Structure 1
Amino acid sequence: MTSPLPAAHPPVPQRRIGVLLLNLGTPEGTDYWSMRRYLKQFLSDRRVIEVPRAIWWPLLNGVILTTRPSKSGAAYATIWNNEDNESPLKTISRAQAAAVTETLKERHGDAIVVDWAMRYGLPATGTAIQRLKDQGCDRILLFPLYPQYAAATTATANDEAFRYLMTMRWQPAVRTVPTYHDDPAYIDALAKSVERHLAGLDFTPDLLLVSFHGLPKSYLEKGDPYHCYCVKTARLLRERLGWPEERLRHTFQSRFGKEEWLQPYTDKTVEALPAQGVKKLAVVTPGFAADCVETLEEINGQVREIFLHNGGEAFSYIPCLNATPDHIALLTGIIERELGGWLPAR
């Protein structure tokens, strides 16, 4: 039995557990200044760009932030959700949080509060943490939605949360979700999405290309495990599909600058495939939890065009897991597992 509070005591909210879904980020618009603000925050992150500041800062604030916002804005404009005036990543992230909330509420009542935030742009990570704290969350699970851990994704998402926690006098207890690149439920969800998509095509792909976001090779050499996690995900997906090695290949996309990145490169690989006899191609991007400019514009736009221009006959992009039932089941399963000891036994 709890003791009554003193008469003048401020209201105490019900104790709850918070879950914060974290993704990369999005500009607030496709115009020059919206893109510039977003790119400056993104490209100023030392986890993303490890070039010494004396070299990088003049280049970023001179050439890059002068020319790149217009180019990036044009790319975003081709996939923008005009109805809600936001990027698809924001639309899908909101839907994921709503679906996870509904599922957890059915199982645990009001014990868990789910929110979502972006590392760059809005909604801001710190604001979301404060919202959870204000709702009585004295324990928070940070869930960066990157199946394959990298310092430039998972770690920087956690960094941003920790930075805000450093400003709080009364911090909640915090846990972080580890890499889930080889989680059987994740691999199964990927395989089912591939199988469903291919069953709906009017052609059979000669090859399934598994494209992951790229990373400078130097990051791997410094100890980042991302490359190994990507290769393992691709292998496990192929094994779950029951396919021979020659039917599935992995590549890395979205490289930036002149430095060598993880290879093989997606665009260069796709350019060469038709001459190698691959005329029908499907591409899946399992490193992305939600469709975004890198999948919708780069893969389903630029990469599609490269393949068809170089002699390809049929191309299909397989969407990310997004807010599908299989993905929501995967996310809620991981959440419940990582909340072990916090959640009361059912």
Structure 2
Amino acid sequence: MRKFLLLPLRLSIGWGISPKLIGFTAILMLVLLRLSIGWHFYTEGLTKHNQGNWTAAPFFANARGPLAEQYRQMVWDYDGRYRLNKSATMQVLAVYREQVATHFDFDKDQKRQAQANYAKAIDQFDWVMDENAADIEEFKLGIDRVKKFDTDAKERSLREGVDSLGGQRDTIRREWTGKARPALDQIDKIWDNYAVAQNAIASERQLAAKGKFPLRKPRTNRIDTSIVDGLLPYFDIAVGLCLLLGLFTPVAALAAGVFLFSVFLSQYPPETGTTSSNYQLIESMACFVLASTGAGRFAGLDYFLHLFVRKSEADEFDEDDDA
């Protein structure tokens, strides 16, 4: 029974009774590899967290290869249908206005200011839509055209092996997204400024007691960057700390390896130069090595957890013998 209960812990620190015998140099290299990858993840996570406005959207939007469409759909409101919809925008901003008022317990005068901010944001939205009307209309008309071209180009590439179609498809997609980019950037700024203005209504006492209330984007897909952007910095930090401490190393290294391999697949086939994803492939393979060798048991906390598991299993074995 005790062995069954310890199964999750044993899987988390390495299954074998002990790692295969390897030399001191190999052990040292495993430790250095674990520390290097751990430091990389930890610093990447801190950088993303400290930036505040970091987003994975450009990475997903520029995905290529057979899984490109799946990655692009993970970009929040990738085709702009939500932000370019006035009714949807009005609903988001109105809901946020009520949430802020409830969060800070606004009085009547503050609620009037919140309503004024709401009206101003809608006027700004209307101005952006009017100023960019021609490009927005062309962008909307191109949505179905781009999807159809993607499908046709993929089929022709498979049937004829025409490599140039990939570049042609990317060019058309860049031109299409470029039509709406100025308007979408301006709308994003309206949302950001609106959140700042609504929080600015709160008094110093209200801010100190409640803290700022963020404007949360409504999800446009089951999993999109509105969720990923918030979780990924903490994922990187957690993985980095586990690898640095040698704690639950197989789990942390496996998670890191799968994540990095997904990065490689998003840009498959890889190119050379600054856009290459080959280094993510190499680092993911290194993570799989750490996961499979129980590397946290060398100069890591997994060593002590492993001793605990072995002692518990030995005690259970002795009890069975006595019985």
Report the structure number with the largest CA radius of gyration. Answer: 2
- Higher helix fraction: Structure 1 or Structure 2? 2
Using the size of structure 2 for normalisation, the TM-score is 0.23
Using the size of structure 1 for normalisation, the TM-score is 0.22
Which has the higher relative contact order, 1 or 2, with Cα contacts under 8 A spaced 6 or more apart?
Answer: 2
